[in-house]
């Protein structure tokens, strides 16, 4: 219900595909087509960024339009129905701070926040998140503006290779944010 309202608010066409369970099951394992990544300039060594937040239209029914609000910025993209949220963030939106460690929901390196909840982004498909609000490590703090939790990880050397650190931070950041919220509520009561 909530989703539908948001779609209307954003002015989606009435016939935009609604992702149903049946639709998904029908497309998992089926064939997709053509990359929809926006073309961009870049030389070797310089990772590219999409030139716009709006991608080309899908050229096949295997692709589904999805609107994601990631780190407060809106992305209207076409995704292969088989694409996990993790691969969508990394390979389509080029937000590579979120990491793939196992692709099976076992390690947590891919943890992101969706609508304020922590999830393993490798265990969910991007098409299931139309209209959702996603926060990744890039949205928590930047090198010159670290969140206190990030600064604390540096101060206490809470990592070595740093590969799964994004996932650990995303997990703890929300945990602590919830604790603070709870405490505030309790002290109010």
Partner 1 sequence: MPATEPMLTLVGKPTSRVDGSLKVSGGARYTSDYHFPGMLYAVPVSATIARGKIASLSTAHADRMPGVRAVFHHRNFDKLYRTAPDLKAEALQSEQRPPLEDEVISYYGQYIALVVAETFEQARAAAAAVRVTYYAEPASVGPPALIEGSLKVESQRGDAPQAFSDAAIAVDETYATPIQTHSVIELHATVAVWQGDQVTLYETVQGVLNHQVVMTQRLGVEKEKLQVITRNLGSGFGGKISEWGNSCLAAVAAKRLKRPVKLVISRQQAFAAAGHRPRTEQRVRLGANKDGRLSSLQLDWTNSTSLLDDFVENCGEAAPYLYSTPNMRSRSGLAKRTVGAPTFMRGPGAVPGLFALESAIDELAIRLDMDPIALRQANEPTMDESTGLPFSSRHLTECLREGSSRFGWPNRNPKIGSMTRDGLVLGWGVAACAWGAGRLPCAVRVDLRADRSARLACGTQDIGTGTYTILGQIVAERLAIPLGKVDVVLGDSSLPAGPLSGGSLATASVIPATFRALDDATASLLASAARVGNQFWNNAKPTDLAFTAGNVHLKDEAPASGRPFAEVLQRAGLRSVSGAGQSDGTLFQKPTSSVHCFGAQFAEVTWQPEIARLRVSRIVSVIDSGRILNPKTGRNQIEGGVVMGIGMAIFEETRYDPRNGAPINSNLADYLLTSHADCPEIDVHFLEYPDLQVNELGAKGIGEIGMAGVAPAIANAVHHATGIRVRQLPIRIEDLLGAQRSAGRI
Which residues sit at the interface with partner 1, rule CB under 8 A?
29-35, 39-42, 44-45, 47-48, 60, 62, 80, 82-83, 87, 90-91, 94-104, 106-107, 109, 136-138, 140-144, 146, 150-151, 153-155, 157, 159-166, 169
Distances (CA, A) of 28 to 78, 81, 125: 16, 7, 10
Residue placing its CB nearer to partner 1 in the complex, 160 or 187: 160
Which residues of 58-125 form beta strands (DSSP E)? 63-70, 73-80, 111-114, 117-120
Least spacing, CB of residue 9 vs partner 1, in Å = 30
As a whole number of angstroms, the distance between CA 178 and CA 172 comes to 10
Q: How far is the CB of 180 from partner 1 (least distance, A)?
A: 20
Nearer to partner 1 (CB atom), residue 3 or residue 151:
151
Residue 80 CB, shortest distance to partner 1, in Å, is: 5
Task: CB nearer to partner 1: give 48 or 181.
Answer: 48
Residue 61 Cβ, how far from partner 1 at the closest point, in Å? 11
26, 17 contact by CB (below 8 A): no
- Per the DSSP assignment, residues forming a β-bridge with 76 are 54, 67
Q: How many helices (H) and strands (E) does the chain have?
A: 5, 5
């Amino acid at each position: 219900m909530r989703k539908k309202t948001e779609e209307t608010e954003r002015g989606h066409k009435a016939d935009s595909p609604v992702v149903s369970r049946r639709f998904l099951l029908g497309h998992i394992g089926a064939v997709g087509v053509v990359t929809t990544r926006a073309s961009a300039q870049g030389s070797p060594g310089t990772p590219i960024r999409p030139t716009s937040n709006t991608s080309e239209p899908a050229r096949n029914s295997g692709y589904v339009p999805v609107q994601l609000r990631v780190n407060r910025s809106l992305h209207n993209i076409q995704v292969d129905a088989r694409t996990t949220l993790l691969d969508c963030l990394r390979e389509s939106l080029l937000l590579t701070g979120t990491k793939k460690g196992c692709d099976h929901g076992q390690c947590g390196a891919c943890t992101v926040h969706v609508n304020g909840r922590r999830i393993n982004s490798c265990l969910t498909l991007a098409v299931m998140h139309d209209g959702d609000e996603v926060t990744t490590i890039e949205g928590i703090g930047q090198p010159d503006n670290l969140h206190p939790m990030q600064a604390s990880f540096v101060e206490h050397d809470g990592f070595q290779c740093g590969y799964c650190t994004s996932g650990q931070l995303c997990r703890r950041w929300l945990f602590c944010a919830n604790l603070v919220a709870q405490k505030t509520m309790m002290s109010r009561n």
